[in-house]
Structure 1
Amino acid sequence: MAGRKLGELSERLRSCFRRIEPFVQARKYVRAVTSELPKRNGWTIAEYVGDRTPDRTQRLLNRAVWDEAEAMAQIRRFAVSGLEEAARKGGRRRGKLVIGALDETGQQKKGEATAGVKRQHLGCAGRVENGINTVHLSYVREGVGHALIGFQQWIPEEHISDPVTSLRSALPLDLTFRTKGQLAIDICTTVAADGFRPDFYCGDEVYGSCTELRAHFEADKQAYVLRVQKNFRIILSSGMELSCDQATKTLLKRERQWEIRSAGKGSKGDRWYAWAWIATNSARHYLLIRKHLRTGELAFHYCYVPESALLTKTRLIRAAGLRWPVEEGFEFGKDCFGLDQAQVRLYTAIARHAVLVCAALAVCAVTAALLRDRTDSQAPEPLHPDQLPPADPGLIPLTIPEIKHLIAGTTTPRPPGHATHWVNWRRRHQARSRWFHKRARLARDIKITQVS
């Protein structure tokens, strides 16, 4: 099925290339990033696809004539339609949320010659490092899957205003400085032109603190659940203005005001937190607070729901819990397809590498979603902490990394059935680990309420 989906996406992308040679090279590039190569750069990709030098790969990224923006639009339409098809076939459309999750990811770089490079905080490094940052949008279908469908690289203002740096990085002549929140507006505007309108947009504090982004969503009657910092100020229905932290301490003193609910299923089962919400002076704005059950750590979400949409605490909790797949998208993009391995310097080349990685990720994401029900044979979950383990734990559904391993196995000389054997071995091992983890969690003395 993955091969068929790759062919389907290739047909969509053909119109983005003026000549056949760059298109053929782009298909080779996608095949290479889906391989088991430990590093993906011009040299390793050229060697893998059979080229005699890296020239064709470098030309594809730097100088060839093709429309990377239109290619990303085709990838987005492919991913959205594919995940929607999977939801329809699996009976997961009715009552399930569709989320647009915003976040940025970094890539460490050496020197000062790369477009947008600057010493800045990089989440991938966990500290201030030399690197670049890119804002991404992930399309998330609850209970089905997710894929990266749009991005914009953040370029420091001093790079744009300096003609030497701008020329060296090949920045577009009409490029203007945009904050990460403003880049998120640009991405959301672009995908809205394709007809993409999620139930909620979600993002962390970078986007929740952007007044312009919140105003953009509200002007468009678009619901959102955005993380904000504890000093973010809200106006209560009484007219009093307090920070999120102050409002929580003032209004949520009783234990019964908190509800323990799941923020959705992770790889090891439900993610349980205590939740509460506080009304503001607007009937459509709420502050949603999440409390960690062991540490008591608080996270704040500023929420807006237009009058035409359903407003319940349950929907807001579900939306807040569906922001994490964008992080998983970064993990898969980097670990499986080399999203952060672009050894290029020019602005367009960085974007083109990201587009081709998103193409490979979309193929695997859609394939995994379509095969989800057919490949899930996990044993029933434990019901009590003393339950004996099943004789056969079964297999977890095929995941994006395992789909990638199967695709790579078709191009690497190995004994018959070798790739399938190891994919199934890992899936059975993960199913067994999940079962024991869920049984261990049953022993915790926590009263839980399932989100319906």
Structure 2
Amino acid sequence: MVHRLCVTCRLTYDLVVSWDVELTALTERITGPLFTRPEPRQTFSDLVRALLADVPRKNSWQLADHVGHRTAYRFEWLLNGAKWDADALRDEIRSYVLKHLGRDDGVLIADDTQAIKKGGKSVGVAPQYCGATGQVENCQVMPMLAYASSAGHTFINRRLYLPESWVDDADRRAAAGVPAHVTFTKPHQVIAMLTEELIAGTPFGYFCADSGYGRDPALRAFCHEEEIAYVMAVPVDLPLIAVQGTAEPLGHVLDRLLARGGVGLWERRSCGAGTKGARLYDWAAVAVAVKDQLPTCGFAHTVLIRRSIADPAEVEFFLAHAPTGTAITELIKTAGLRWKIEENNQSGKDLLGLTQYQVRKWAPWHRHVTTAMLALAFLAVTRASLPTDPADAPPRANQGKDRPPPEKTS
């Protein structure tokens, strides 16, 4: 786990010990109400620690081997056979994340990730577009919701998308244990997740998503009804109302802007820091009216146009719905936060086994993915609390006793 948290701070023996203490306290607090018996509590704790460990392939067998189980039976039973509620775990993760990362500047971000799978038995698996490879793959599609603030970012909610081949096959859904009340479209799944966050009182100022969600009028309408500010990527054919009152696609707005010439049209601004420094683009903004969709009272619609500096032909559009008078710089900054969920998707897959499960049914899928979410949340919270000065590190847990020397700086 240590290498997952190495940043510009001095890692000491006592700091690493404090992480172990905090992880133990977290899993004990969560498993208390989650399980009635001590055996699944210990197995769950072992699973979280194994997901956080440097295990090459995070399937049940290798995870079990890492923590010293003779077989994978305990992990497999925890995910497939034991009685516990993955949504209750999700709610505990939310409380934990908001306690440590919750801020008024928080942003909720929706995006899909995919798990490539073999065969056709795993719930929701079908030939579908896979963003990781850019082509159609036999995979599961997972709409995820992340929470990002100035303190950090991590997943806070999740769904599993069911394609038409599953929606139209009641026997197949029943065999996989899919509940009858499940919503099937990805935008409506995001609406359901946003509703859960509103009910929970999650503090956030904006909602962000890519164009797959930004193009959906039902999702936008929900945000308008609930007075949610958003900055969502939208397609070039988003229908707008022209000055003369007729409908026109968004692309015509760009054509008119370009026809005016480039003087004063574009401003070069950063939409946040990336791995190589400030992420600079050329930006333009224009007030718009969306066809058949008024903004919330006191709000306005603005289209942000982002142009690549290296390749001016590379353009992306964002539709902002924010209180009238909101600074364009704030909208640009919010647009840049959408990529935080990409980092969560990558970390979840590469480090924590988010998609390396060997379960096939509905309930086990939610159990594995939600447990991986807890592991990522722990990393995000721990990273947010890392001291930048060794003097700020927590006191030694075994003061005055023999102990190994401090670890070298990372």
Partner residue, 1:193: 199
Unpaired runs of 5+ in structure 2? 1-17, 391-403
Query: Displacement of 1:316 after TM fit?
Result: 0.6
Match of 1:233 among 239, 242, 249: 239
Cα distance in 2 for partners of 1:193, 1:289 equals 33
In the alignment, is residue 292 of structure 1 matched against residue 308 of structure 2?
Answer: yes
TM norm structure 2: 0.85
In the alignment, is residue 164 of structure 1 matched against residue 171 of structure 2?
Answer: yes
Cα distance in 2 for partners of 1:63, 1:27 equals 17
In the alignment, is residue 363 of structure 1 matched against residue 378 of structure 2?
Answer: yes
Give the alignment of 1:297-316 within 5 angstroms: 297-306=314-323, 311-316=326-331
Q: Using a 3 Å threshold, how does the CA distance of structure 1 residues 30 and 130 change in structure 2: closer, same or farther?
A: same
Seq. identity, % = 33
Cα distance in 1 for partners of 2:405, 2:199 equals 45
Cα distance in 2 for partners of 1:259, 1:239 equals 29
Partner residue, 2:157: 150
- Aligned partner letter, 1:149: I
Alignment check: 8 A CA contact 1:228 1:302 kept: yes
Alignment check: 8 A CA contact 1:134 1:152 kept: yes
* CA RMSD across the alignment: 2.3
In the alignment, is residue 323 of structure 1 matched against residue 331 of structure 2?
Answer: no
Cα distance in 2 for partners of 1:14, 1:218 equals 39
- Aligned partner letter, 1:207: Y
Q: What's the CA shift string for 1:125-154, capped at 9, x where partnerless?
A: 221110101111110113x31011100010
- Aligned partner letter, 2:120: E
Cα distance in 2 for partners of 1:163, 1:265 equals 47
Q: What's the CA shift string for 1:151-202, capped at 9, x where partnerless?
A: 0010123324423312331212x24442111110011111211101411100
Match of 1:97 among 86, 105, 126: 105
Match of 1:349 among 364, 383, 391: 364
Cα distance in 1 for partners of 2:31, 2:280 equals 42
Cα distance in 2 for partners of 1:160, 1:417 equals 59
Cα distance in 2 for partners of 1:51, 1:263 equals 47
SS in 2 for 1:154: coil
Alignment check: 8 A CA contact 1:289 1:298 kept: yes
Alignment check: 8 A CA contact 2:167 2:184 kept: no
TM norm structure 1: 0.78
- How many corresponding residue pairs? 371
Cα distance in 2 for partners of 1:292, 1:417 equals 50
Q: Using a 3 Å threshold, how does the CA distance of structure 1 residues 176 and 312 change in structure 2: closer, same or farther?
A: same
Alignment check: 8 A CA contact 2:267 2:283 kept: yes
Cα distance in 1 for partners of 2:166, 2:405 equals 52
Partner residue, 2:3: none
SS in 1 for 2:344: helix
Alignment check: 8 A CA contact 1:17 1:67 kept: no
Unpaired runs of 5+ in structure 1? 85-92, 376-415, 425-452
Query: Displacement of 1:236 after TM fit?
Result: 4.1
Partner residue, 1:273: 281
In the alignment, is residue 111 of structure 1 matched against residue 113 of structure 2?
Answer: no
SS in 2 for 1:371: coil
Partner residue, 1:133: 141
Alignment check: 8 A CA contact 2:257 2:265 kept: no
Query: Displacement of 1:203 after TM fit?
Result: 0.4
Cα distance in 2 for partners of 1:367, 1:280 equals 42
Partner residue, 1:87: none
Q: Using a 3 Å threshold, how does the CA distance of structure 1 residues 417 and 242 change in structure 2: closer, same or farther?
A: farther
Alignment check: 8 A CA contact 2:65 2:71 kept: yes
Partner residue, 2:98: 80
Match of 2:355 among 340, 350, 355: 340
- Aligned partner letter, 2:274: G
Cα distance in 2 for partners of 1:44, 1:51 equals 10
SS in 2 for 1:69: helix
In the alignment, is residue 69 of structure 1 matched against residue 87 of structure 2?
Answer: yes
Cα distance in 1 for partners of 2:267, 2:387 equals 31
- Aligned partner letter, 1:336: L
- Aligned partner letter, 2:20: G
In the alignment, is residue 42 of structure 1 matched against residue 60 of structure 2?
Answer: yes
Give the alignment of 1:431-446 within 5 angstroms: none
In the alignment, is residue 258 of structure 1 matched against residue 273 of structure 2?
Answer: no
